[in-house]
Amino acid sequence: MKTNGILELPDDSVGIVQTEYYTFAAPPEEMRLVSGRMLGPVTLAYETYGKLNGRRSNAVLLLHALSGSAHAAGFNSADDLYPGWWDLYVGPGKTFDTNKYFIICSNVIGGCTGSTGPASIDPGSGSEYGLSFPIVTIQDMVNAQYRLVRHLGIERLLAVAGGSMGGMQALQWCISYPDMVASAIPIATSASLSAQGIAFNEVGRQAIFRDPNWKGGDYYGKTKPEAGLGLARMIGHITYMSERLMHEKFGRRLQNADLFGFNFESEFMVESYLHHQGIKFVNRFDANSYLYITKAIDYFDLKADYGSLAAAFEKVTADFLIISYTSDWLYPSEQSREIVRALRAGGIHVGYTEIESDTGHDTFLLDDRQTQRNISNFLRSQFEKHG
């Protein structure tokens, strides 16, 4: 048994890992963003698990969703009670098997967990960027990650993989750097966010904008807009679950009573759950980053950026495994099938699995055996082909 000082860790845990930081694009060599604005220096937080092999052919890049971080697996310190966000998938013998693969998880620019974002110090002004931080796109996030991957001495990734916004990054990687990606695993994602998705993101942003503590984004060192950010998270969480999952998990059960209180206290279990999610989130996430990252998701549109999906995928050479979930109403399967059709029309090899699931959009974060088995098998075949 391994231990992190508090918990006995199972043998398939990556154990204690340190987040690392790579800084590049120092002035005058700032990074040019899609908007035309320049950003630099740029720091990306990342973690790695497993070892790069001699041929440098076993590197897998994990890409996270809206609220994720570089910390995908294991524990950052002996005091941590919870492991990284994809710990169920990353470790010795797990789906992303750290005995075989060199796993990299990269954070995104615009984020708030070690990478350059609105809470970072603007070298021009000497204080936090706040809303003067430039709008970043998924393409910008990937361009920054490209610098990191090259810095790690990797010329070709065995795979890029991620769910939701992570899936958008995986698609963008194959398009922006086709020679660097042997295979891709976009999960529960889309080639462009739907009108409904934009709508939910906008009400989340409005919850933050309307919190008087937000102060135009200039709240660092002052009271944080926790009410707004917490509310945005509550809204988001409803969309990550299916109606069925909410019914089974909470139904109409009350939290601490047998009878209605006839007041406005939160009394249904589902209300308590959402409040808990909101409170947990404001302790670890920056409200301005929530604005920037949701905006990057809203802007993602391969059809508009390249004229058509066919044009977007023209130079893509990667093999694909695409996964969607029947109960995911935020990124419905039809949006994955649209990607599958466009890739296949371009002669790309695509495996597509629509997994029967009651657990909604966030299924890829859960201990879902079908997701794990599909990815495992696909990675093994890719390693046999390219490794």
Shortest reach from residue 62's CB to a second copy, in Å = 28
Shortest reach from residue 295's CB to a second copy, in Å = 7
Selected catalytic residue, list 211, 328, 362, 368: 328
Judged by beta carbon, residue 212 or residue 307, the one nearer a second copy is 212
Q: Which two tokens stand for residue 28?
A: 């005058």
Is 57 noted as a catalytic residue in this protein?
A: no
Q: Which residues bind a second copy (CB under 8 A)?
A: 35, 37, 131, 134-135, 192-196, 198-200, 202-203, 205-207, 209-212, 227-228, 231, 234-235, 238, 241, 243, 246-247, 249-252, 260, 262-264, 266, 268, 270-271, 274, 291, 295, 298-299, 301, 304, 329, 332
Judged by beta carbon, residue 146 or residue 329, the one nearer a second copy is 329
Q: Which two tokens stand for residue 270?
A: 């589902």
Is 361 noted as a catalytic residue in this protein?
A: yes
Judged by beta carbon, residue 12 or residue 358, the one nearer a second copy is 358
Q: Which two tokens stand for residue 127?
A: 């204080």
Selected catalytic residue, list 69, 115, 120, 164: 164
Shortest reach from residue 84's CB to a second copy, in Å = 27
28 and 124 in contact (C-beta within 8 Å)? no
Closest CA to 321 of 167, 146, 143, 152: 167
- DSSP alpha helix (H) spans, the chain: 138-151, 165-176, 195-209, 226-240, 243-249, 269-282, 287-299, 302-306, 309-312, 333-345, 369-386
First to last CA, the chain: 31
89 and 74 in contact (C-beta within 8 Å)? no
Contacts of 259 (CB under 8 A, 6+ apart): none
213 and 227 in contact (C-beta within 8 Å)? yes
Shortest reach from residue 225's CB to a second copy, in Å = 10
Judged by beta carbon, residue 52 or residue 246, the one nearer a second copy is 246
Is 266 noted as a catalytic residue in this protein?
A: no
Judged by beta carbon, residue 58 or residue 201, the one nearer a second copy is 201
202 and 254 in contact (C-beta within 8 Å)? no
Selected catalytic residue, list 64, 140, 361, 362: 361
Catalytic residues: 164, 328, 361
